[in-house]
Amino acid sequence: MEPGDDFVAARRVLQAARSLVALTGAGISAESGIPTFRDAQTGLWSQFDAMALASEPGFRARPERAWDWYAERRAGVQRTEPNAAHRALAAFEQRHPGRLRIVTQNVDDLHQRAGSRDVLRLHGDILRVRWLDPCPLQPACDTDAAAAGRPPRCARCGNLLRPDVVWFGEVLPAAALAAAEAAVARCDALLVVGTSGSVWPAAGLAGLARRAGAQVLIVNRAASEIDSEATQILRGAAAALLPALLAPI
């Protein structure tokens, strides 16, 4: 089947962009088998209490339960592999150094394992940990020194480890958000892949790109809350569309 006019036009925009930003969400990782959080039928928050597992008060109330839940999520990430969409982005980045910046809402490492180097993480890294509270000692305690436990606890200061992800009620890492906004504000094209567009401030990046004069191309299986910001929308699986959109001409 020959590509349609919309596909050809989208490919032309991406290939011509001197500065391209890819904003990726849960949908791209779902195609590798990692459950999304927000899908109404299959998302994790349709099965679990988000505030009990992904907020500071919930973690403090029952740290063992939350720690075990994240341990299962980490194991799931480590069992999965990057899919064709992750690999297509990495291959484009390697062919065109300096032209592509990836901004991801995902807390997995699939972009990195596919070979992408220039990845901004807005919501943290589920495979990393940090202290629940600021360490009161100088020098600060090393997280590697935490004693075994669920969650592990520091033998020196008593601090608990927590996942290095952004929970409900927390702000995004300031440096990562500022870098993402700066990249979007100066890009020629923003490629939005697999996001519902319901999580802010990441969802605001599409509007920022449009106001700065960039083309906004959305690749998604279903409608999103930021479709109105798009200059073009392609419906379908990222693993099917991105390799063709980003392949060498």
Residue of 86, 96, 111, 123 with catalytic role: 123
Catalytic residue flag (residue 86)? no
CB-based contact 108:34 (threshold 8 Å):
yes
CB-based contact 145:155 (threshold 8 Å):
yes
CB-based contact 129:97 (threshold 8 Å):
no
Residues annotated as catalytic are 123
